[in-house]
Homo-oligomer: A and B are copies of this chain.
Amino acid sequence: MKYKFLSFLMALTLSTISAQQTITGFTPENEKKELDLEKAFETKLAAANLDQWMQRLSAEPHWVGTEYGKKNAEWIEKQFKSWGYDTKIDTYYVLFPYPKVRLLELTDPTPYTAKLTAVPVEGDPFTTQGDALLPSYNAFSTDGDVQAELVFVNYGIPKDYEELEKLGIDVKGKIVIAKYQGSWRGIKPKLAAEKGAIGCIIYSDPKDDGYVQGDVYPKGAFKNKTGVQRGSVMDMPTYPGDVLTPGYGATKDAKRLDRKDAPTITKIPVLPISYEDAQPLLQALEGSVAPESWRGGLPITYHIGPGPAKVHLKLEFDWQLKPAYDVIATLRGTDFPDQWVMRGNHHDAWVHGANDPISGLVALLEEARVVGELAKKGQKPKRTIVYCAWDAEEPGLIGSTEWVEDHQQELQQKVVAYINTDGNGRGFLGAGGSHSLQVMVDEVAGSVMDPQRGVSVKERRNAADMVNGGKGEFGLSALGSGSDYTPFIQHAGIAALNLGFGGEDDGGEYHTIYDTYPHYKRFKDPEFGYGVALADVAGRITLRLANADILPFEFKQWHTTVSGYLDEVMKETEKMRDAVEKHNKMVAENVFELAADPTKPFKKPTKKEAIPYLDFAPLQNEMAALKATIDTFEAADVSKLSVEKRNKINEKLIHAEQTLTSEAGLPRRPWYKHQIYAPGFYTGYGVKTLPGVREAIEQKDWKEAQEQIAVLASTLKQFNTYIQEMNSIL
């Protein structure tokens, strides 16, 4: 739509805030009202509230099912009510394992029993709460008692196993030890089990978030030798949420899978440990020295093994259904009560969770408080705004997933967009989401001031991008997984955003007992300036979506971005072809063997199957057709439309994202419906765009790749038809 198209052009250049006073989606008469409202909103945001609420909400550990977690939910409910929201707590009953037995010992060559306990530190009384601190473990590890030789597998991701294969090292029947990072943690036991390992240990190497990165807690923000990252290892790339109720809400009486049949519990036991506990294990390994890029920051030579180190890993969990309390607060829209703008952040934490998630939650609460206050004073939103505080995000996005599954039809009918936040810090705006919202987010980012530098958060982010070698152009990243937007966008096909600041708040506290208020105040966002900025950005987005005359979806930017993904997939295929051709030539000429050191392990590589040429034309043709349709849509001057037509267009715009899904979902994971974005099957949180096609290619399943090209082409056609329908309204 041409409507406010000018502002889009301006937003693409480094612009001053004063130049940013034109916004997409409003008629000239309503634009000023909206900007005045947003200004009033911004002015009322108070950092002191965030600070005070963080102290309240992170005072005690509050993982799902805890007494303090329930208290937090009830306190949040109370706040929303006091601010004028129609508020309820929706409760789900979800499987949650609590660690009963955690034993890890090195049995050979010299015995060592892992301590599995982080130490309290001076100056942080929260770390002294002893038994109240959740023991370190990986939720949804299976029970197990295994003993075997140890193998170091670097990050434990697919390319690490390729390297092991080259060295002729097999993990079958072994226990692997993998570093945290390099992928979402759940990929490590999943892949290890696929390769035949019988146990998995994950540790935080000091190179990744310990002393190599900076001074350790309490001197600095990074992980001391005893810190352990907790976290879920549920197979979320298959489906997130309650493991026993795939695809439907875990209500009290829901039919549940038998636990032994739950496909998303790991196949092998897995335990996270500190680098203090990892060092004796790693030091006891012999065999090949690990490749350069695998080596961490411990003062040892990293060997791969297998053995002579042998370890014994014994894990037992108390598997119970726990209540998950989702707080849902609704502010009814005056004009379009059945069009909902949703906004959410989880409230459960692994331990105190000052950063994750409370820093994001307090921003959401402050935003809700002011929106509520403005409404009380008569500045009510035209559309309904729904604020959510999710429970049980940490063990696997459970609270949000169950709620979305439970209300799926209504949500698909009513929700304009879901805007998510989670832990927040100091630095640069990170924004991911549906690319039809990029222009709007770009405009908002140009309107909010950076609390440190006196320019817009957009300018600051673009500056950082340029310093890092980028072009300094604002853009949304594509969403994979890792927070509560997943059930909305991936499963229900609802347009979604995920927002947060960071980049100047590094630390090693993530999911440890050190993610506390004192740590946050010293190292994250001491003045809560970025907490307020987050409330400002997310609040303005929420208000614009709630009040827009024409919903600010824009498809040219979407088309540019998705065309880029298609180019990327085609180029990757070409690169694979070139690499295989080169590899096979080198195998034929025996080059690998000639270059190999005969004193070191070496497995002679074999020829690889040649990469066939895929027919990408269906996708290219659909993208070309879409371009024409979108150009027509965006060329229309909607300011001249009748109110009736406008409302019709809005009704259509709300559901546009859903036409990018396919009911069958992705191969082997039908829960994931979206055809443009998905978390990678072997990356976890990391996104795969055009996932059906891309992952089939990456897995070299050419038949499936061609099938998925057809599926995606038909999805794109469906999207095209849908926009054509809007064009016919114009």
Please list the residues of chain A having a beta carbon within 8 angstroms of any beta carbon in chain B.
14, 206, 211-216, 220, 222, 289, 295, 297-301, 427, 452-453, 455, 459-460, 463-464, 466-467, 472, 504, 586, 589-595, 597-599
Does the CB pair B299–A299 fall under 8 Å?
yes
Does the CB pair B215–A289 fall under 8 Å?
yes
Answer whether A453 and B591 are a contact pair too, CB < 8 Å, given A301-B220, A466-B586.
no
Which residues does chain B contribute within 8 Å of A592, judged by CB atoms?
463, 467
**Interface residues of A: mostly helix, strand, loop or mixed?**
loop
Which residues does chain B contribute within 8 Å of A214, judged by CB atoms?
289, 301
Answer whether A216 and B301 are a contact pair too, CB < 8 Å, given A466-B586, A586-B467.
yes
Besides the contacts A298-B299, A472-B591, what 16 more A-B pairs have beta carbons closer than 8 Å?
A: A206-B299, A213-B301, A214-B289, A216-B301, A220-B301, A222-B301, A297-B297, A299-B299, A455-B594, A459-B594, A463-B592, A464-B594, A464-B595, A466-B586, A467-B591, A467-B592
A531 to chain B, nearest CB (A): 17
Which residues does chain B contribute within 8 Å of A594, judged by CB atoms?
453, 455, 459-460, 463-464
How many copies the complex holds: the figure is 2
Between A and B, 16 residue pairs with Cβ closer than 8 Å are A211-B299, A211-B300, A212-B295, A213-B301, A215-B289, A216-B301, A220-B301, A222-B301, A297-B299, A298-B299, A452-B598, A460-B594, A463-B592, A466-B591, A467-B592, A504-B599
Bound-state Cα–Cα, A211 to B222, Å: 24
A386 to chain B, nearest CB (A): 36
Q: Which 10 pairs, one residue from A and one from B, show the smallest C-beta to C-beta distance?
A: A463-B594, A464-B595, A467-B595, A463-B595, A299-B299, A463-B591, A504-B597, A211-B301, A214-B289, A215-B301
Which residues does chain B contribute within 8 Å of A206, judged by CB atoms?
299
A609 to chain B, nearest CB (A): 21
Does the CB pair B14–A589 fall under 8 Å?
yes
Bound-state Cα–Cα, A301 to B299, Å: 12
A525 to chain B, nearest CB (A): 11
Which residues does chain B contribute within 8 Å of A504, judged by CB atoms?
597, 599
Bound-state Cα–Cα, A215 to B299, Å: 11
Bound-state Cα–Cα, A590 to B297, Å: 36
A288 to chain B, nearest CB (A): 10
Which residues does chain B contribute within 8 Å of A289, judged by CB atoms?
213-215
Bound-state Cα–Cα, A212 to B295, Å: 7
Bound-state Cα–Cα, A591 to B469, Å: 12
Which residues does chain B contribute within 8 Å of A463, judged by CB atoms?
589-592, 594-595
Tell me the nearest residue of chain B to A452, going by C-beta.
Answer: B598
Tell me the nearest residue of chain B to A466, going by C-beta.
Answer: B591
Which residues does chain B contribute within 8 Å of A598, judged by CB atoms?
452-453
Does the CB pair A301–B597 fall under 8 Å?
no
Residue from A455, A463, A589, A590 having most chain B Cβ neighbours under 10 A? A463
Which residues does chain B contribute within 8 Å of A216, judged by CB atoms?
301
Does the CB pair A593–B453 fall under 8 Å?
yes
Bound-state Cα–Cα, A453 to B597, Å: 9
Bound-state Cα–Cα, A298 to B299, Å: 6
Tell me the nearest residue of chain B to A600, going by C-beta.
Answer: B504
A535 to chain B, nearest CB (A): 21
A460 to chain B, nearest CB (A): 5
Tell me the nearest residue of chain B to A207, going by C-beta.
Answer: B295
